Amino acid sequence: MICACQPTAPQNFADKQRRSPRVRAAFAEKDGPLRSLFADQGLPYPPQQLFIRIFKQEKILEVWAFSTSDAVFKRVKHYPICRTSGNLGPKRREGDLQIPEGFYHIDRFNPKSNFYLSLGINYPNQADQVLGTKGNLGGDIFIHGGCTTIGCVPITDEYIKEVYWLAVQAKSNGHAKIPVHIFPTELDDRTMGRLKTTFPNDDALINFWKNLKIGYNWFEKSRKLPKISVNRQGVYQFSDPALE
C-alpha cells in the first residue's frame, strides 16, 4: 500500500508561538494594524530586524525596524512605560529595584507570563558581571504587560501584544538577538549636562553614562547599530560592523 500523505511543513518560531492563546490573540488583534503601520512608513512586513530603545526618565519604549531600501533603522512607534521603579542609574545587585541600563538583547519569549506576555532581557550582561555585586546580581528582567514592576519594564497588556508579536516575527525571520538599549534619559549634550549637575559627586556614575552616550550618539547620527563589546574593566566598546 502506498501512502499518498503530504509531508508536514516544518513550523517556524512564529508558528510555534501561536500555539499559545495569548499569542494567537495578539496576532488576531494586532497583525493587521501593524501591517498597515509598516506600509505607511515604507517598511517591510513582517519585520526583518527590530531594535528596542528605552528611556527611563521619559518612560518611553521605542520600536525601530530596519528599512531594507534605505539600509537604516526607522522608528515605527513609541509606547509609554506604565510604571518604573528605582532611580536613574544601572542595576548592580539583586533587590535594588533598579531597571538596568546598558546594551542588551532579548533572550527569552514567555507566552504564559504572569504579566500576560513577556520578553526577557539578557541581564546581567558582560558589563554588569564586571561592575555589579559579585554573586548577587539578580536577573529575570522583562518587558511585559500589566502595570507593576520591581525592576522590569511594564507597558500594559494592550501594548505588549504589539511589541511581542513584532519581536516574534523578527526572530522567526532570523533576527536571533533583538537589541535592547536602555538609557537613563535621552543622552544628548543638554541632558548630559543636567545629569552632571544632578550627580556632582558621583564620578563613576557620570563616567558610566558617558560610556553609554557613545553608543547613543552612534545610533542618533547614523540610524545604524554599532558592534558592541565589553573590555575587562566593564566598559562598552563600539565599532562599525561593516568594517569587520
Nearest to 90 by CA among 106, 102, 105, 82: 102
The Cβ of residue 117 has, within 10 Å, a number of other Cβ atoms equal to 28
**Cα 22 from Cα 139, distance rounded (Å):** 24
Pick the catalytic residue from 82, 105, 152, 175: 152
Only one residue has cell 520591581, namely 150
Contacts of 62 (CB under 8 A, 6+ apart): 52, 53, 54, 55, 75, 77, 78, 79
**Are the C-beta atoms of residues 213 and 198 closer than 8 Å to each other?**
no
What does the DSSP assignment read for 170-219? Answer: HHHTT--S-EEEEESS--SHHHHHHHHHHSTT-HHHHHHHHHHHHHHHHH
Catalytic annotation present for 144: yes
Catalytic annotation present for 152: yes
Only one residue has cell 502595570, namely 147
Pick the catalytic residue from 105, 144, 175, 181: 144
**Are the C-beta atoms of residues 151 and 99 closer than 8 Å to each other?**
yes
**Cα 143 from Cα 159, distance rounded (Å):** 11
Q: Which residues are tagged catalytic? A: 144, 152
